Structure 1
Amino acid sequence: MNPAYQGQLDVFCAAYAVINAMRHMHATRLLSCRALLHEALLDAAGDEDFFKAVLDQRTDYVDWVDAMLGRLEKQGSLLAARPFPTSFPGPDAPPPDVLWEEIAAWLRKGERNAVLLQFVRVLYPTDAIIRHWTCCNEVIGDTLMLFDSSIEPGSLHQLDRRSLITDPALDGPGKVLIVPYTLRFLRPRIGR
């Protein structure tokens, strides 16, 4: 029997995505990262129903991510944008190529830029569904590199352009559904 590792028991990948974006953009030290996580958990715990939803994975975590980003924006650490504020997965969502081009263009604009997003994938041949928040920090050719906290076997650390979908009806082995309204484009505030 192996010991449990962080991430196997908690469901805080959304907070880790924000924290990893800060590490990428500002080389934020681990003690400061711990403070960011503590603030986020205290915020969530301030509303018992919301905190239960976070713990039970009955949320998309967008409000939690936006609260963390809002605090960091007020502190002058970053600027955040929502390129697809109302796009839900499905046939009316922007096509994957549009998302890809927007993400790649943003990451190429600045070496310290980052993109946060939630992806969904099915672990075939089972029906297990993984919903995961991550930080994209680089694009190489047709591959998005993920600055991600997950060390679980089978976790993704890069996303191939050809694997991306925005309509769940197109799902299949090797496909990764990007949830358009979760995308957050981040850049460090100039002068920081």
Structure 2
Amino acid sequence: MEAFFQGKLDNFCALYAVLNAMQRTHGINHWSARKLFHAGLVGLSRDEQSWKNIVWNDTDYISEVRSFIEIINAEGTSLQYTHPFPDGKAGIEDVLKIVADWSQCDRSKGDTLWEMADGKAVVLQFKRFLPFRGAPLISHWTAVKEFSGNELRFIDSSLEKTATYALPRNGFCTCEDELKEGCLFLIDPATIYLLEAGD
């Protein structure tokens, strides 16, 4: 028997992605993240239909990420965002360029993501498909740790044995029409948020 762990039964990976990104933008600790997570849950639950959509995983979470950022700002932490591809139209190289620009790590600056990241971060959602199946097996929001030039590396809150912590630059596509047997991961450009600490 395997114990359940945090995240196994809920659909809050989009909130975790933002909080993990804030390790890069604000250097937040466990207690600050918990406070913002709770404020986010309370704030998002005020709209009954939206809350049901979140709980039942019946949303793409794009607007919920924006709402959570607004809640974080209302809680007194300034977090700015840019939503570069709201229409979802961008190719792989467009995605890689903007992610690379916003997820650079300078290891000479220190040991923590906060020290290395210049206060910038990226969150996005990827979907993993199985060959010849319509719906994705996994739809998961995550924060980008870095783009190494060969792969996107993620800061992830998932403890799944099969969790995805990196995607090679040729290992994903940006629209469902491009999915094929050898490329079963999709990053929808509309899910990309560029975050940075505000003034």
Give TM-score, length-normalised by structure 1. Answer: 0.87
Q: Is residue 2:93 matched to residue 1:82?
A: no
Structure 1 counterpart of 2:101, from 90, 99, 105: 105
Distance 2:47 2:151 in 1: 39
* Cα shift at 1:84: 0.6
Amino acid of the structure 2 residue aligned with 1:117: L
Question: Any conservation in 1 of the 2:11–2:57 contact (CA below 8 Å)?
Answer: yes
Q: Partners in 2 of 1:15 and 1:186 — Cα distance? A: 13
Number of residue pairs matched by the alignment = 185
Query: Which residue is 1:175 aligned to?
Result: 184
Name the CA distance, whole Å, in 1 between partners of 2:131 and 2:30: 35
Which stretch of the first structure deviates more once superposed, 60-69 or 171-180? 171-180
Name the SS of the counterpart of 1:14 in structure 2. helix
**Distance of 2:24 and 2:132 partners within structure 1:** 34
User: What is the RMSD of the two structures over their aligned residues, measured on CA atoms?
Assistant: 2.0
Q: Is the 8 A contact 2:36 2:72 kept in 1?
A: no
- Using the TM superposition, give the Cα deviation of residue 4 of structure 1 relative to its aligned residue in structure 2, in angstroms: 0.5
Contact 1:25 1:187 survives alignment (8 Å): yes
Match of 2:167 in 1: 159
Q: Distance in 1 between matches of 2:55 and 2:140?
A: 14
Q: Residue 27 of structure 1 aligns with which residue?
A: 27
Q: What percent of counterpart residues are identical?
A: 32
Report the Cα offset of residue 178 of structure 1.
0.7
Is the Cα–Cα contact under 8 Å of residues 118 and 178 in structure 1 kept in the other structure? yes
In the TM superposition, what is the alpha-carbon distance from 1:189 to its structure 2 partner?
A: 2.8
Distance 1:137 1:128 in 2: 24
Q: What is the CA-CA distance between 1:24 and the residue it aligns to?
A: 2.6
Deviation at residue 129 of structure 1 after TM alignment? 1.8
Q: What is the deviation of 1:8?
A: 0.8
Cα displacement (A) at 1:128:
5.4
| TM-score, length basis structure 2 | 0.84
Residue 120 of structure 1 contacts residue 177 of structure 1 at CA under 8 Å; is this kept in 2?
yes
Q: Name the CA shift for 1:118/1:21 in 2 (closer, same or farther; >3 Å).
A: same
Match of 1:117 in 2: 124
1:60 correspondence with 2:60: yes
Aligned residue identity for 2:190: Y
CA displacement 1:27-70 (0-9 Å, x = unmatched): 21111111111111111211111111111111111121101212
Q: 1 CA distance for matches of 2:168 and 2:54?
A: 29
3-state secondary structure, aligned to 2:170: helix
Amino acid at match of 1:86: D
Aligned partner letter, 2:80: L
- Give distance in 1, aligned partners of 2:25 and 2:83: 18
Q: Runs of 5+ in structure 2 lacking a partner? A: 106-116
Question: Which secondary structure state, in structure 1, belongs to the residue aligned with residue 93 of structure 2?
Answer: helix
Which residue matches 2:146? 138
Alignment partners' CA distance in 2, 1:21 and 1:183: 12
